[in-house]
Structure formats: C-alpha cells, structure tokens
Amino acid sequence: MLWWIVSALLALWILTYPVADVIFHHAQWGAFHANEDQRQVALTFDDGPAEDTVAILTELHRLNIKATFFMVAERASEHPEWVTLVVSGGHEIGLHGYRHRSAYLNTPWGTMADIAQGVAKLRDLSGQPIQWYRPPWGHHNLWTWWACRRLRLKRVLWTVAPDDWRAAHSKEKISNHVVKAALPGGVVVLHDGGGDRTRTRLALPLIAAGLRRIGIEPVPMEALAFEASWLKTGWRWWETRFQVAWDLDPVPSQGSMVPIFRLGKIRFRGSRLALSSVVLDHGDWFGELHFDNSELSRFSDDTRHVLKAYQAIRQSLVDLASFVGQSEKYQDVLAFGGVTVLNAGKAIERLGFVRVPVVGWRRLSMRLYLIWLMAMYHRQGWRSIKRYRHLSPVLLVIDRQTLIQRYPSDGTSPTRVPS
C-alpha cells in the first residue's frame, strides 16, 4: 500500500513539475510569440531593479531605446525609486516573480501567491498595469500556467539569450551573439540585476548599432504583435539556434533597404568547379549564402514583386561585396553561393552566378527543405507548392573577384552584363 502511495505522489510530482516545465518552458507552449511583420526585437532585462539599473537606463536613453524590465517585486519594494526611474524613462515593467525562486521549489499555493503578490506590488509601485510574466530561469510548474491564466498575464520567455551574466562573456561576445541570433519578432533577454552588469551596459551601444545596421529596431514587448502560427514560431526557434550554431553573419545594408542575406563560412562540398577567375576545389573555403526568409517573403506575390526581389538581390550583392571585402573572416573565401529552387533563367547569369545542378541524395533533401520554406513564407502558403513542384534545386555560385568587380561599394552602379 505504501509503495502505491509513494508511486502516486512521485507521478504527481513529475507531472506537476518536470513535465509542466518541458511543456511550458522548453517547448514554450502558450507563451507569447511575436510575428515577423515588423523588423523589431524586444529588448528585455531580468533580475532587477538593482544598482546597475540606473546606468543601464542612462545608456538606453542615450541610444533612444525603450525596453521591458522584468522585475523581482521584493527587490522593487526595497528600492521604489528605481521603479520610478524605469517608468519615468518610458519603459515597460513585467513581473519576474515576487521572489527570485525556481518554480521547482514552490508549492502549488506558493506559486499562486508569489505571482499574485508580485503583480499587486509592481502595479502599486509603478502605476502601470502588469501584463507580462517571465518566471525566474524560465522554470515552470503546472500552477505557473494556471496562475497566469487566472491573472490574465502573458507568459514570455526569450529567443535570444547571450548569457550576459557570465563573467567570461565580454561586451563584444554579448553583442555579437545578439546580432547573429536576432530575427524579427525575437525577444532578447539581458540582466540589470543579480550581480555586476557593467558588461551588459557596455554591450548596449554595440547591440543597438548592430541591430540597426541589419534593419532591426529594439523595442519593448508591447510594440510586438502576436504570431498565431505555431508552425512559424517553431521554425523561428530552430532558425535562431541554427544561425548561432553555424556562426552565420547578417550582411549589413549600406542603404535604406533591409538586408536579405546571411553568410556562413564552410568547406566546399562539391566537385571541382571552374569559375570566371578561380577553380573551386572540394574542401576550399566557401561563403554559404542564406536568405532572410521573412524579408524575401515580401516579394513572393506577383510579377511586380518578383522584379522588386531581383532589384533587392542586386543591391544586397553590393552589400555582400562590401562586407566580404572588409571582413577578415572571409578573406580566404574563394566563392559564394547557395542552393535554391527558384531557377530564374538568364537573370542568374546577369547577376554573375554560375548554375550548378544538385545531384544525389542532396537533391531530394534540399528540394523538400526549400519547398517547405516556400510553403511557410510564400504569401499563398501551402498553395504555392503547386507552382514550384516541378522545380529542382540548383547551387548558384559566384567567385570572389567577380562579386567585388561587378558590385562595387564606392557608389558607382553595379556592372551590367549584356543579356
């Protein structure tokens, strides 16, 4: 009998804590996710208010950035003057718990009380309605979800976490991580409390400049619009991690246009390829191009948009030539390119690319992958598959010298190629 009681209690604990945490924290089920319609990411701060909050607020004001501060209500009640500074600076306040305590260490009634008391305390101190909740460390139990439903709080976690709290992370490491991982509609988590946050403050100018260079504006949570599609939300979760894992660099735009390329450095995996000015061998350094899918989807409607896409790609190639010419990382790269199913005929040659068929198992896998992307991002959704089901993936390659010569960044027009 005792064994059954212990087993039942253990099963109940597993469902209430680890299983709930997997669902609501790691899978982020039911949490707020923003769409990609606007080129924005939310800048958020956890664990404050604290002494570094004041310096961070000063820096945000200088950079003309509004953010969301997820506050520990107990700390806020000890320093209400810091709460006042946040509000007077035009920033938004969310709850990070009454106490900074893991949901694994809270009882069901303790969880309910912690969240309810935290909301009441921050509302009184700030004079703002509290609509956002991020649990400490993101930890959830079943009652975390229930309390948020009862109090009509929007649970929000993050898509970009540069771990600015680690002493080994410099301001450059923090900012590089944010800029590489940022996608429209993302949520960046930084910290203004819980320790020395000098590195976080020093990283803010680099973060702001890097994001704005790729056409993304940091904003508070309230500026983001909700994304209803779980398919897109899940895919963006994967894309964010893919970009960091493969060290992809966003290619900044020199003009007002939003950049549409991200660039990675890999070893060329194909057979020997003779290009205009170089022979590319298997194992040579290769710049792998990736499209910003959310931005490219804006050009997926009709012929007029296709022409706009062509013009946008031409301008992005100017940006790419400038970027690789200045970046030390890509100095030994011999050629650049990527795989696509959009076989644009003579337009490819006009842009300076060589078309290389994709063969073997990669042909099928890349075709499925690229059609999946088009179905998600094309304006017609899954109906677009009928238009492209006959197309096969091709590798488009342009050598370094051709890229730089045809797309100068000195203000002159890109070199035209006779049709």
- What's the full length of the chain, in residues? 419
Q: Are 378 and 297 in contact (CB under 8 A)?
A: yes
CA angle 216, 321, 306 (to 5 degrees): 65
The HSE-up count of residue 138 (CA atoms within 13 Å, CB side) is 16
**Residue indicated by tokens 């700030």:** 126
Where in the sequence numbering do the catalytic residues fall?
46, 191
**Which of 376, 39, 32 is CA-nearest to residue 184?**
39
DSSP string for residues in 174-239: HHHHHHHH--TT-EEEEESSSS--HHHHHHHHHHHHHHHHTT-EEE-GGGSPBP--HHHHHHHHHH
Tokens of 75: 């700390």
CA 105 vs CA 9, 17, 100, 130, 211: distances in Å: 16, 10, 11, 24, 37
Alpha-carbon span 17 to 104, nearest angstrom: 6
Report, in angstroms and rounded to the nearest whole number, the Rg of the chain calculated over CA atoms. 25
Phi-psi region of 87 (alpha: psi -120 to 50; beta: other; left: phi over 0): alpha
DSSP state of 298: G
Tokens of 154: 């929007």
**Which of 55, 153, 139, 152 is CA-nearest to residue 105?**
139
